[in-house]
Copies of this chain bind each other. A is one copy, B any other.
């Protein structure tokens, strides 16, 4: 089975997810610098979520570029990833409103933001492992993801962040940012294997 259309559909979904989040950036109520303060928290949440969706699109691009073939189960594993990623705009919105509400107890929204990141990460991990099994450990794809350190490390960090949210939500947000930074740093090893794989075509 051919991967092209699954990739095109995923691009469409990622493009809509990353862009509709800007609809939740409401215009400040008055045209003053002071009014901007009320937008700071939603803006910070937007930047973090944009970064996460960008990272997933980037990793998805790398993963699918060395994928040779897919099957029906991979298509559903991919759809599962898109489902969890599509919840990020929702958990981001709750994070925003928690900051802006008078109650100001962001613990629960920070937990759920973390859960949406955790389940997106788990789905990505599942998709990657399914593709590794399908191509074999000796394939370009199998070798590229043989020693995946970032994946499991992110999962552990998300769980730590979710647990600490009930005690101190600021720490959780720092951890979410740390994981994003971890992924943002280019992964030369994979680019290397990708380079080989392309030359080997």
Contact = CB atoms under 8 A, between A and B. Distances in A.
Interface string A66-78: 0000011101100
A16 B16 contact: yes
Interface string A23-45: 10111111111001000000000
Interface in A153-190: 184, 186-187
Contacts of A20: 16, 19-20, 22-23
7 contacts: A5-B11, A5-B65, A8-B8, A13-B15, A17-B19, A26-B93, A31-B106
A142 interface: no
A64 B8 CA distance: 14
The number of chain A residues touching the other chain, given as a range, is 35 or more
Interface stretch (A50-58, A122-130, A132-140): A50-58
Best-surrounded residue of A14, A15, A47 (most CB of chain B within 10 A)? A15
A73 B186 contact: yes
Contacts of A1: 65, 191, 194-195, 198
A114 interface: no
A20 B13 CA distance: 10
Nearest to A109: B31
B79 A54 contact: yes
Contact of A27 (B23, B79, B90): B90
A47 B29 CA distance: 23
A149 to B, nearest CB: 18
A119 interface: no
Contacts of A54: 79, 83
A35 B94 CA distance: 11
B31 A98 contact: yes
